[in-house]
Amino acid sequence: MPDDSLYSVRNLTVEYQTRVGIVKAVDDVSLDIRRGEILGLVGESGCGKSTLGKALMRLHTGPARIANGELWFDGRDLMKLSDREMPDVRGAEIGMIFQDPMTSLNPVQRILDHLTETIQAHEPETSGAAARTRSEELVERLGIRRERLNEYPHQMSGGMRQRVMISLALALRAKLVIADEPTTSLDVIVEAKFLDLLKELQKEFGLTILLITHNIGVVAEVADRVAVMYAAKMAEVGDVNDVFADPKHPYTQGLLKSVPNIRLEEGELYKMEGAPPNLLHPPIGCRFHPRCPFVMDICRTREPAFEPVVGGHLVSCLLYQTANVKQEGLHA
């Protein structure tokens, strides 16, 4: 595993047991998250990015389970941890910010109690008073007055609730913060403030952030690298400038073209052909081939490997792959 990689995901497959069969929401995905970076994970609704995010903490319950894979976080494989050991990692080493802060906070619990409970769950020897002090300092750093800790979630505004979510993720100085569509429920101005705050905190606390979103603009603004997912597989990964300037995967190209540009003339909106595939019965060969403007015969039968094209820029597309295609390990 490369030195500067905080989290190395290898061949992760997450399965959902449904009424009509087994669906692989994440299918043999490998990914590296480097220390100190902000990695943006983008894709359409239903491509598997949220499932991937939750899998990083082994958060799935009920019908979903991790069928296969290795989760090398900070030198150890989280898949080897027992159910009893896993909660120690959650919150303390990996933190999560959820999409809807209104429903992600317990409506009958005060904000303060959310924080102190988390602190004391991981550091039980902390006294109530000490936990309270830490909580106060934490929220003030995030721009919330300490008196508001005694309030209930429904008494706060949306932006403030989202900041509470950040504070919960940071309460124990987690190394990795997974932000799952954190700005989707916020309006544009609040979103901008949120992203600024995120960048500040990253520098101050030395955080590594995985930012899951379907909004490419957000990624362009804050991310260092970007990963693009399509139909439960990883399509493209690379430096954000590289990928945006020179997208290799046809899907990424289509995605970027779809972003409306204010300079476009009327009637020039671009729309990709087709629709995302049925994950119960995904297409044979490359999953994108039914919609790909550059489709070749081989794409209908052979699945592309996820391989580097240029340096840190990886793509899974047969357009770039040589005749002797082999599955290799990932080097980011």
Partner 1 sequence: MTETQELPPEVAAEAPTWEAELQRVGFIRRIFMARRWYGADWWFVTISAVMVLGFIIVAMFPGLFAPHSPDDLVGPRFLAPGAHPDLPALILPSDSPDNELIDLAVPSDQPRPIVAVVQGVPTSGALNEQAQVIDNQIKNEPGGLRLRPRIERYATLEEALQAVVNGKATAAVVQSLEFEAISAQFPTLREGASITGERSTAGGFFLGTNDIGQDVLSRLLWGTRIALIIGFSSSLVALFLGVPLGLFAGFAGGSLDRSLSLVMDSLYAFPGLILAIAITAVLGPSMLNIIVAIAVLYIPTYYRIVRGQTLSVKEEVYVEAAKSIGARNLEILQKYIFPNVIPSVAIIFSVNVADAILTGAGLSFLGLGLPPTIADWGIDLARGQRFIQTAWWMITFPGLAIMLVVLAFSMMGEGLTEIFNPKLRER
Partner 2 sequence: MTPITLIALLIGVPAFLLLTYVFIHGSAGLRHYILTRVGLTLPMVFILATLVFFVMRVLPGDPVSSALGPKGTPEMLARIRTQLGLNDPLIVQYSRFLGDMVTLHFGNSLMGGHRPIVDEMSERFPATLELVIPASIFALVIGIWGGTLAASRRKRATDYALRIYSVIIYSLPIFWLGLMLQLLFGVQLNILPISGRIDPVIGTTIKHITNLYAVDALITGNWPAFGSVAQHLVLPTITLGLILSGVFVRMTRINVIETLQADYIAAARARGIREHVLVFGHALKNAMIPVITLIGLQVAILLAGAVLTETVFSWPGMGSYLVERISSRDYTAVQSVITVFALLVALISLAVDVVYSLVDPRVRY
**What's at 250, amino acid-wise?**
P
Q: Please say which residue, 78 or 212, places its beta carbon nearer to partner 1.
A: 212
Residue 51 partner contact from partner 1, partner 2, none using kind-dependent CB cut-offs of 5 to 8 Å: partner 1
Show the beta-strand stretches assigned E in 219-304.
Answer: 225-230, 233-239
Contact yes or no for 231/44 (Cβ under 8 A): no
- Find all residues with CB under 8 Å of 180, minimum gap 6, and list them: 50, 53, 54, 96, 97, 98, 99, 212
Q: 244: closest CA among 236, 234, 256?
A: 256
- 145 binding partner 1? (CB under 8 A): no
Contact yes or no for 235/251 (Cβ under 8 A): yes
- 108 binding partner 1? (CB under 8 A): no
> How many chain residues are in contact with partner 1, going by CB under 8 A?
27
Residue with tokens 């005694």: 150
- 48 binding partner 1? (CB under 8 A): yes
Neighbour-count burial for 191-207, b at 16+ CB within 10 Å, e otherwise: bebbbebbeebbeeeeb
Q: Please say which residue, 179 or 330, places its beta carbon nearer to partner 1.
A: 179
Cβ 271 to partner 1, closest distance in Å? 17
Taking CB under 8 A as the criterion, the residue among 23, 52, 96, 332 binding partner 2 is 96
Residues in 213-242 that interact with partner 2 by CB under 8 A:
none
Taking CB under 8 A as the criterion, the residue among 57, 139, 142, 243 binding partner 2 is 57
Residues in 225-264 that interact with partner 1 by CB under 8 A:
232
Residues in 110-139 that interact with partner 2 by CB under 8 A:
117-118, 121-122
Q: Enumerate helices (H) and strands (E) in the chain, giving the number of each.
A: 10, 12
Taking CB under 8 A as the criterion, the residue among 16, 194, 251, 288 binding partner 1 is 16
- 14 binding partner 2? (CB under 8 A): no
Question: Cα–Cα distance between 320 and 298 in angstroms, integer?
Answer: 12
Q: Please say which residue, 98 or 288, places its beta carbon nearer to partner 2.
A: 98
Residues of the shown chain interacting with partner 1 in the complex, contacts defined by CB under 8 A: 16-20, 23, 25, 45-48, 50-51, 54, 62-64, 98-100, 103, 180, 232, 276, 278-280
